[in-house]
Structure 1
């Protein structure tokens, strides 16, 4: 087994971890506990995916140069969302949602582009569609989730979360 194959196996394993931990983090209540633990696992696995994708693409640039750009673009969303939460930027919740869901769209896109031709129904679509389906589906979801948190904030005008309450969310 050569270096490329070993890195590819690591990349695939952590890709699976990333996809599953992302779903669990998204599904959990947005507070400390399940959401944050699975979110940390999601981000850590994304770091491994990013590093392995960069190396894999460099090793076989002529064949998979696109992987470099997908990894760079997708991980930039992940780090954006992660840092928004960790550093508590102004309106951090919206930045966090956009970044994390945007990175998940990137991960799903990479998955579909690589295995979509093996999935029934998806293999009937033109290959180019596999690049856009996750974004077409995911972008409205980002909007809906962001609006949910905006709506909750507007329902309680004038009420600011205390620092303790704020730290216990997401």
Structure 2
């Protein structure tokens, strides 16, 4: 097994872990427990994705340079969301939601772009749509979720 294939294996496993834990964390109750455990695993998986993406992109730059940029941008969003919660920055909840869901959009985009040609029905969708659809669909979802949780948090603060 070549060094590239080892990094590819790590990348695929980490991507699958992030897709699963990101979905579980998104739908879990927002408190310590399942949500935070899945979030920690998600973040760790994203670190592995970042490292493997950068290494693979450097090894095969002409075919995979885009992996480098997606990985940096998407992990930047994950790190932003992670740190906003960890350090309770001002308006941390909005930043946490935006960063984490934004990074999830990134991983969905990368998965579709890299694997879309191999998935029946999706392989009939033009590549540009695969690049743009997750962001077009996901951005309003981020806005809706932010409004829902920020409003809930303010109501709880007023009640206390």
TM range (shorter): over 0.9
1:154 deviates by 4.1
Distance 2:81 2:25 in 1: 13
The 3 A distance-change label for structure 1 pair 69 and 92 is: same
Can you give the 5+ residue segments of structure 1 that lack an aligned partner in the other structure? 161-170
What's the CA shift string for 1:85-140, capped at 9, x where partnerless? Answer: 00000110000000000000000000000111122222111111110111111111
Q: Is residue 2:22 matched to residue 1:22?
A: yes
In the alignment of these two chains, the number of paired residues is 160
Q: Structure 1-normalised TM-score? A: 0.90
Distance 1:49 1:157 in 2: 37
What's the CA shift string for 1:41-90, capped at 9, x where partnerless? Answer: 00000000000000000000011100000000000000000000000001
For the Cα contact (< 8 Å) 2:18–2:45, is it kept in 1? yes
Distance 2:19 2:41 in 1: 10
Greater C-alpha radius of gyration: 1
Q: Structure 2-normalised TM-score? A: 0.96
| 1:133-148 paired onto structure 2 within 5 Å | 133-148=133-148
Match for residue 90 of structure 1? 90
The 3 A distance-change label for structure 1 pair 45 and 156 is: closer
> SS of the residue aligned with 1:89?
coil
Q: Is residue 2:80 matched to residue 1:72?
A: no
> Larger RCO: Structure 1 or Structure 2 (Cα < 8 Å, ≥ 6 residues apart)?
1
Distance 1:88 1:48 in 2: 25
Quote the RMSD (CA, aligned, Å): 1.2
Distance 1:89 1:120 in 2: 43
Can you give the 5+ residue segments of structure 2 that lack an aligned partner in the other structure? none
Shift >4 Å, 4+ stretches: none
Match for residue 47 of structure 1? 47
